[in-house]
Amino acid sequence: KEIFLKDYKMPDYYFDSVSLNFSLGEENTIVCSNIFVYPRVEGISNPLVLDGKDLKLLSIKVNGKELKKEDFHLDAQHLTIVSPPSGTFSLEIVTEIYPQNNTSLEGLYKSSGNFCTQCEAEGFRKITYYQDRPDVMAKYSCRVEADKSLYPVLLSNGNLIEEGDLEGGRHYALWEDPFKKPCYLFALVAGKLVSRDDNFITRSGRKVSLRIWTPAEDLPKTVHAMYSLKAAMKWDEDVFGLEYDLDLFNIVAVPDFNMGAMENKSLNIFNSKLVLASPETATDADYAAILGVIGHEYFHNWTGNRVTCRDWFQLSLKEGLTVFRDQEFSSDMGSRTVKRIADVSRLRNYQFPQDAGPMAHPVRPHSYIKMDNFYTVTVYEKGAEVVRMYKTLLGSEGFRKGMDLYFKRHDGQAVTCEDFFASMRDANEANFQNFLLWYSQAGTPRVKVTSSYYAETNTFSLKFSQEVPPTPGQPVKEPMLIPVAVGLLDSKGKDMPITSIYHDGTLESVSTHDRPIYSTVLQFKKKEEEFVFSDIPEWPVPSILRGYSAPIRLDSDLTDDDLNFLLAHDSDEFNRWEAGQVLARKLMLSLVSDFQQNKPLNLNPKFVQGVRSILGDTSLDKEFIAKAITLPGEGEIMDMMEVADPDAVHAVRSFIKKYLASELKSEFLRLVESNRSTETYDFNHHSMARRALKNIALAYLVSLEDAEITELALHEYKSATNMTDQFAALAAIAQNPGKIRDEALSDFYTKWKNDFLVVNKWFALQAMSDIPGNVENVKSLINHPAFDIRNPNKVYSLIGGFCGSPVNLHAKDGSGYKFLGEIVVQLDKINPQVASRIVSAFSRWRRYDETRQSLAKAQLEMIMSANGLSENVFEIASKSLSA
């Protein structure tokens, strides 16, 4: 059933307080819920409809009296109380559930012997009958009772009020959360866990106990998570003036989790892979992900929990904003440019394709069948870009004023994206005409810009036009407000001062001689607009969309010489990188067309020269160099083609890599030699940058398939003292098929077979391989003793990893599609949320040639015809077929 934003209605009843009682057991769990209900409007007695799924109702009482059969209705999804008393009343419901059989990992379930919960978006209804919607906010208390030896630790939200022993070897704990919250933030954990304890003193002097809970053997791997948490707490105080509001903050790491992590009030639950790290077992990328996600969930305490969403269409209100906050946090803790490059690459590689396909939806969707399908890169990452645009338009101080007003107005409320918009606007008396369209229009806007210089008047003009492409259900779009950050480079490569801009019939002065400005933000909001810069003494090279100031596709009339010039000189480091990417994309597309016409492939010497000069530029940050010499992804290039051709794109990308490796072999060798780790592992930018540069150099070199280089890679593998270097060397060795590869892979497995997170990397590495015919290898890994289809991390590593190799996923014989189709059907019976993520790999099937189209379509049709298909998979598969 499809649900629409326009149908939103306020609830007839609110819940003031809820007291829950869980009796956890091996055979069943009994949940008793006591709710204090009040009507929104005095005097009504409309039916009260509660959500519930897979529950066994044991009893229901209103004001202490058991309801008779005719006083309520039960169906598979609801419990309806036909005519509740008018005024306030109490509601007592007892249900029985079976967490030990819950493989969906939604609601209350078991993960390696421990109980835990995941309620967002609509999992609470699998625990008890409730108004499972975020605009119903109540105060919770939670009593948990369980066997003491099996579940020595009992946790829930808020403060621990009381605990004690019971007869029969059982014990209990009573928790109380003083803050009102929607039920999606409820959490419970019970199990054999130990904690790393620390504390943080807030700036107003509150002493907060911090505890990170894991099974005993993992405790040593929580040092970095604790460091990240304390850094996040400090950062939110420094940057947003936001303090933690309770005396206890718990994080629990569980190995079975559908997503990354969950911001339950004072009891964050995390996928283990985003908590556990040691230099020997986690890579720099893992360390960075942990920092970002620990920050993300902590930041939700204000953006999500204190101020929450009115309904699930508003998800980006909390997610876009919180992703923006975690991006900024990571930038401040490391390198801003490198972080920005990583975030923009992610947007291009994952969000752009979504925005151009059958699942395209606005940052605030208009409808959904299953909310879980809308925890997307569009809601999260494009949503974060929308928040970033406010900051670009208002400046740091203006943005902070908007945030302050948002909390002042809405603390304790469930609100909408318009409320956030209004706070930003009102705090700054800003004119945000056409900005709200970013929330309602799907599709990546395409912006064209042409430049002209008029020597006789010393003026320089930029003419912009914009077009938002049609997307399913939205054939026609309006122009939006697009902030375009611009700088102008003189012939020496220095930024020119920008003094005044003529636009829309008025001349606006930007800066004066004594206070020059070198970068400005143009507010482009019509279909076509021209901006004319005055006092420009020579023809400049414009640096447009600095810092990637809006999530758009930009086509400019810059020549290759201009781009090379920007790559060498732009003061905006992001745009230096971007200039290189534009050049590389152009080059790759033209080689793809040569390849398709069976022409020999040749690499422009200027491109090689450009890469050589970046490699040798000692003034550059090493991680920046690593990013700058990374070619655009295959997906990014296919995304720019009329008909996506995975074989051609792969061949071209491999050709360029190999060609660069042979032309620049001595440079790459020197980089490997000179950037080896000397000190013990440290998570700081300097050391990570060295590792990144060394490892990408090694990856280039192995493409030469040269025995001497293989020796080098093996040496790096054996001498590595941390997982970053060890895994990078293994990945390099694994690029080329053969005995050495097989031996290295099996050596790695033997070393790490007892560490499931490392084994997942081993699965992913093999699954992502571009070695021809790799589907057979992946199929046999499914039967590997370490694989378990019930564990989402393993599925994402092996099946998700396989989808990361376009040549194998899109193999011309359809073997990749067939494999995926069968897995989806099997997985859907176990865990619909995970199955639904995997089936998304099919969604862009229309982008390929006819043979591939018909093979992929056949699999989608096979999936659609499966018995008992979940709504999750149904939504993605049916939309993919129809659009």
Question: So which residues are the catalytic ones?
Answer: 297
Tokens 């019970």 belong to residue: 190
The candidate with the shortest Cα–Cα distance to 727, out of 687, 676, 698, 762, is 762
Q: Which is nearer to Zn ion, 305 or 831 (CB)?
A: 305
Contact segment (CB under 6 A) with ligand ARG among 224-232, 253-261, 447-455, 629-637 equals: 253-261
Integer Cα distance of 628 and 577 in angstroms: 6
Least Å from the CB of residue 319 to ligand ARG: 6
The footprint of Zn ion on this chain (CB under 5 A) covers a number of residues equal to: 2
Q: Does 297 engage in binding with ligand ARG (CB under 6 A)?
A: yes
Residue from the set 67, 72, 79, 120 that interacts with ligand ARG by CB under 6 A = 120
Q: Does 263 engage in binding with ligand ARG (CB under 6 A)?
A: yes
Amino acid at 488: L
Q: Which is nearer to ligand ARG, 262 or 541 (CB)?
A: 262
Locate 778 and state its tokens.
Answer: 């992946």
Locate 552 and state its tokens.
Answer: 């758009």
Integer Cα distance of 677 and 687 in angstroms: 8
What is the Cα Rg of the chain in Å? 28
Contact segment (CB under 6 A) with ligand ARG among 44-52, 152-160, 261-269, 484-492 equals: 261-269
Query: Which of ligand ARG, Zn ion, none interacts with 717 (beta carbon under 5 to 8 A by kind)?
Result: none
Query: Which of Zn ion, ligand ARG, none interacts with 328 (beta carbon under 5 to 8 A by kind)?
Result: none
Query: Which of ligand ARG, Zn ion, none interacts with 284 (beta carbon under 5 to 8 A by kind)?
Result: none
**Phi, psi dihedrals of residue 294, rounded to the nearest 5°:** -60, -45
Tokens 């967002």 belong to residue: 120
Q: Which is nearer to ligand ARG, 95 or 322 (CB)?
A: 322
Q: Does 259 engage in binding with ligand ARG (CB under 6 A)?
A: yes
The candidate with the shortest Cα–Cα distance to 113, out of 72, 147, 143, is 147
Region of 273 (left: φ > 0; alpha: ψ -120 to 50; beta: rest) is: alpha
Least Å from the CB of residue 520 to Zn ion: 33
Least Å from the CB of residue 326 to ligand ARG: 9
- Contact (Cβ atoms closer than 8 angstroms) between residue 585 and residue 592: no
Q: Does 372 engage in binding with ligand ARG (CB under 6 A)?
A: yes
The candidate with the shortest Cα–Cα distance to 704, out of 671, 740, 672, 668, is 668
Query: Which of ligand ARG, Zn ion, none interacts with 385 (beta carbon under 5 to 8 A by kind)?
Result: none
Q: Which is nearer to Zn ion, 305 or 808 (CB)?
A: 305
Q: Which is nearer to Zn ion, 319 or 725 (CB)?
A: 319
- Contact (Cβ atoms closer than 8 angstroms) between residue 806 and residue 651: no
Residue from the set 62, 79, 121, 644 that interacts with ligand ARG by CB under 6 A = 121
Q: Which is nearer to ligand ARG, 154 or 187 (CB)?
A: 187
Q: Does 291 engage in binding with ligand ARG (CB under 6 A)?
A: no
Q: Which is nearer to ligand ARG, 302 or 375 (CB)?
A: 375
Integer Cα distance of 298 and 261 in angstroms: 11
Integer Cα distance of 141 and 17 in angstroms: 8
Instruction: Return the H-helix or E-strand segment holding 466.
Output: strand 459-467
The 10 Å Cβ neighbour count of residue 140 is 23
Least Å from the CB of residue 259 to Zn ion: 9
Least Å from the CB of residue 296 to ligand ARG: 6
Q: Which is nearer to ligand ARG, 261 or 731 (CB)?
A: 261
Residue 674 vs residues 677, 682, 691, 716, 837: alpha-carbon distances, Å: 9, 18, 10, 13, 42
Query: Which of ligand ARG, Zn ion, none interacts with 121 (beta carbon under 5 to 8 A by kind)?
Result: ligand ARG
Binding mask 829-848 for ligand ARG (x = CB under 6 A): ----x---------------
Q: Which is nearer to ligand ARG, 258 or 423 (CB)?
A: 258
Least Å from the CB of residue 856 to ligand ARG: 26
Locate 30 and state its tokens.
Answer: 């009994």
The candidate with the shortest Cα–Cα distance to 234, out of 329, 164, 165, is 329
Locate 97 and state its tokens.
Answer: 């559930």
Contact segment (CB under 6 A) with ligand ARG among 66-74, 255-263, 822-830, 842-850 equals: 255-263
Least Å from the CB of residue 259 to ligand ARG: 4
Binding mask 304-323 for Zn ion (x = CB under 5 A): ---------------x--x-
Q: Residue 94 half-sphere exposure, CB side, CA atoms within 13 Å?
A: 10
The conformation of residue 84, written as its DSSP 8-state character, comes to P
- Contact (Cβ atoms closer than 8 angstroms) between residue 210 and residue 249: yes
User: Please, what is the angle between helix 646-663 and helix 605-616, to 10°?
Assistant: 60
Least Å from the CB of residue 322 to Zn ion: 5
Q: Which is nearer to ligand ARG, 306 or 425 (CB)?
A: 306
Integer Cα distance of 834 and 827 in angstroms: 7
Query: Which of Zn ion, ligand ARG, none interacts with 120 (beta carbon under 5 to 8 A by kind)?
Result: ligand ARG
Residue 226 vs residues 637, 666, 680: alpha-carbon distances, Å: 40, 42, 20
Q: What is the dihedral of CA 682, 688, 692, 695, to 10 degrees?
A: -10
Q: Does 254 engage in binding with ligand ARG (CB under 6 A)?
A: no
Residue from the set 258, 451, 556, 859 that interacts with ligand ARG by CB under 6 A = 258
Contact segment (CB under 6 A) with ligand ARG among 52-60, 256-264, 649-657, 860-868 equals: 256-264
Residues near Zn ion (CB under 5 A) are 319, 322
Residues near ligand ARG (CB under 6 A) are 120-121, 258-259, 261-263, 296-297, 319, 372, 375, 833
